[in-house]
Amino acid sequence: MKIKKILVLHGPNLNLLGSREPSTYGSLSLQEINARLKKIAQKQKYALLSYQSNIEGALVTKIQKWGSKVDGILINPAAYTHTSVAIRDALVAVGIPTVEVHLSNIHKRESFRRQSLISDVVEGQIVGFGPKSYELGLQALIQTIERQRA
């Protein structure tokens, strides 16, 4: 059986998780979040590739490069959620199941955070549960991939 793969993408400033505004983003580091995701994925026979960048183009390149090699994408574009047509276009171009996650509930924060430029091109969005948003998002993504395969 071919092992399935998921690409997890984290946008700018998420490398600071743990010390960055813990009351908004929680106290787990990015490494801890990635480790939790890896465990969940492994149990369901998925391999996980995680990548964080503060650079928009680097995220776009990763989507382009890996889009044809993975079965799905779990993405928190962070601040680029609200600004990046380039990330949106890359996701549309690769056209594989994608789930958007946010640690905070972007819909109850400043008005500029309430708009996501990718929300209408992804399978769904999970927000507001801290690091748990990633875990719920991963589970939803795996279910989507499995459903589409059945």
| Residue ranges binding ligand DQA (CB under 6 A) | 13, 76, 78-79, 81, 102-104, 106, 113
Which residue's CB is nearer to ligand DQA, number 68 or number 111?
Answer: 111
Name the active-site residue from 46, 80, 102, 134: 102
Name the active-site residue from 25, 46, 80, 134: 25
Contacts of 114 (CB under 8 A, 6+ apart): 106, 107
Question: Reduced to 3 DSSP states, what percent helix, strand and coil does the chain have, rounded to the nearest 5?
Answer: 45, 20, 35
Rounded to whole angstroms, the Cα distance separating 140 from 41 reads 12
CB of 60 to ligand DQA, least distance (A): 17
Active site residue 82: no
CB of 147 to ligand DQA, least distance (A): 26
From 5, 11, 14, select the one nearest 32 (Cα to Cα). 14
Which residue's CB is nearer to ligand DQA, number 15 or number 44?
Answer: 15
CB of 11 to ligand DQA, least distance (A): 7
Maximum Cα–Cα distance across the chain: 47
Q: How many residues does the chain have?
A: 150
**Catalytic annotation, residues:** 25, 102
